[in-house]
Structure 1
Amino acid sequence: MAPALANALNAQGITHPFPIQIATLPDALAGHDILGRGQTGSGKTLAFSLALLTNISNKVARPHKPLALILTPTRELAQQIDEVLRPLARAVGHESVVIAGGMPYAKQITAMRKATAILVATPGRLIDLLNKNEVQLDQLQITVLDEADQMADMGFLPVVKEILDQAQLDGQRLLFSATLDRGVDSLVRQYLKNPKTHSLQNDRASVSTMEHHVLQMHPGDKDDITSQIAARNGKTILFVKTQRGADRLADKLANAGVPVGALHGGKSQAVRTRTLALFKEQENSALVATDVAARGIHVDGISLVVHVDLPQDHKDYLHRSGRTARAGESGTVVTLSSSKNQRAVSGLLSRAGVTPKFHDVRPLDEKLMVITGAQEPSGVPYVPPVMERKAPAGGSRSGGARRGGSGKSGGYRGGNSRRGR
């Protein structure tokens, strides 16, 4: 590892390697292709970032011709990877840029014309810039495919293959995926050369660090119970099926006094970024999300995941549930249900490899409070704190402060900046 990179890690207080870093780094640093499987929060991003940066540390990028590419399924995941990567890249004299839809073309094109070495990209926007000849991959030294199974789920594999077909043939490739079905296995066979395989977990939920519960209730109690769970102390994600359902539930919770944001594909990128920033910053907060958040939102400290609506299949259950119990922490996962659909819930969780505990609960009863930390919301509508605009590079702040959002515009919703408890 380059000394400057080691110094940058020490400066950020990163001194203890994760198991996946110990497992994959020697082979990756030696230039081998890697097929890796690691639990969310296992340090995977840092593992491939260290390998990538070490292997390009003494190379110089040319305009339009990046040296390294990280492909991810979602904008949010791309941005989070870039947050980890960027300070380390600068330590070895390189810059990175996020190439993703819902973000301005101009900044991305300017970065390519300035010979930015590292792209963190979603497949759709990258293929667009490739077709415009703003990006050329013939000098690519290393490619990382992160969450390959999620890219397959989202229908990106044909585009991923088109991108890899344009990349340098003898470049190094690192592929990370929880499963090898839905075409990921063919991707491995076609594009990885004698990969070194490091499998740290299977695709089953981690029952050692998660508690799984099914809360059975009368349908008429569901709104009250959901509000009481969301009002708990700690970070909570509540998953629903639809964008409209996410907005409606976020409005109800905000009016009840819960600091809450809604996150789904119908929000603009600016609102999604602002919503996530507030959720990360506030110690006690809730996020109502569709499955877009299960596929790439990595926020530390989420202690409870709530399946307000049952997911479509067991893999969605695992993706959602994986937002808690990260990096060795413990977490709780609860599914809201009625006795009428117990068979459907039991079947889905069985396919996920989970044996939950079933409980009959009512609003604010002892079992509900013990399992989830539920409490009565304050009843004082919540208003998000003011968030400042970030100053553009080399410029001054403009536009003063910006609110986190309210009403249908997205972001955190409702009244006080504190719960009023």
Structure 2
Amino acid sequence: MDQGNTAFILICAALVLLMTPGLAFFYGGLVKAKSVISMMMLSFGALGLIGVLWVVYGYAIAFPGSEGLVAPWAIDWNNIGLSALIEVPEGAAYPPLAFVAFQATFAILTVALVSGAIADRAKFGSWLIFAAIWATIVYFPVASWVFNFGLAEDGSFAYGGWITYGMQEWFGLGAIDFAGGTAVHINAGAAALALALVLGKRVGFQKGVHVPHNPPFVLLGAGLLWFGWFGFNAGSELAADGVAALAFVNTIAAPAAALLAWLVVEKIKDGKPTSVGAASGAVAGLVAITPACASLTPGWAILLGFIAGAVCALAIELKFKWGFDDSLDVVGIHLVGGLIGTLYIGFFATGTGLFTGGDGTQLLVQTIAAFAVLAYSFVLAWIIGFAIEKTIGFRVKNEDEVAGIDTIIHGEEGYVLENTKA
């Protein structure tokens, strides 16, 4: 067992886990002061719930092993509860539970990302029910499509999900998604759009009405996300080697370029570059580079960052034009950014991109993967959300939304400036 690589994976898992509290700060700063506890609790609720489900059965669904093309929805009953993975096989590069831990953090973060679309108006209990069902029938299977693959001794695919192994068999090239552009960002962004449509618009929804109450929280959250993202991207190599180093450098370059591009668009469009814009631009670049971080040279990563930052800065305006209330721009940043990063690989991936030695096949498989995940996640998220709304209810009362839902749902306030009970 390689202790160096084992330590690398475990450290990266800890970094990715930190991203969920980071996301809570990022989202919490974007909502109004009377909803900050509720917003942050959606992320922490996902952390607790998905952490348990992953151990009980989530890993068994996401990584069912098998031979050849794995069914779109499969489960390895031997790995229920993970007890069969405690022993380290002879000759293994790292303990199986190190990989389990690393992938658990991906599942937690993906579910937490969805919550940004329903800020200020969602019931906590209903959110947890949605999160449990969506993770079970959407995230865990999609993770299997993308991340569940094994190699034979000669380096060829031995088994895997249809996005990796299946595309390889059908088109000669598998889709590239190194760290989760489809499984994480497109997946979460599509579900966020579905929930935004199910829950409807916030009271008084229009441009300029709902403003971030705490930009320093947003910057703190973006910083924690960026820090954790090095584990997200470089850690997906599962070894401290040259590929991990390339992913690390690209995780600096792309978001830095996206940050600048977002600020330029803001300056041109609104007259002022903002701190929230800087944070949002960095996250947009991080989203876009996620699937491509090991497949691009740093120069192409910078170009991707510029494109993602500029396009996502414009894409967040679509909710006002098309009339859906994606509260914290999960669609504009994660869905759009994930699509940009996933499709960009088809043009500029080293050796297989359309403009870097390929013939268009890589672009074809990237497109199929991206839009298949988008459609699957959107349809099922809409069905789950609609069913919850029509039964136990998903949205709080309008009067509670206007008053602020922290005290209604959690009995707490984000900012207590005076002890009125004393």
Q: TM-score range by the shorter chain?
A: under 0.3
Q: Normalising to structure 1: TM-score of the pair?
A: 0.27
Q: Normalising to structure 2: TM-score of the pair?
A: 0.27
With a CA cutoff of 8 Å and minimum separation of 6, indicate the structure with the bigger relative contact order: 2
Q: Which has the higher helix share?
A: 2
Q: Which has the higher strand share?
A: 1
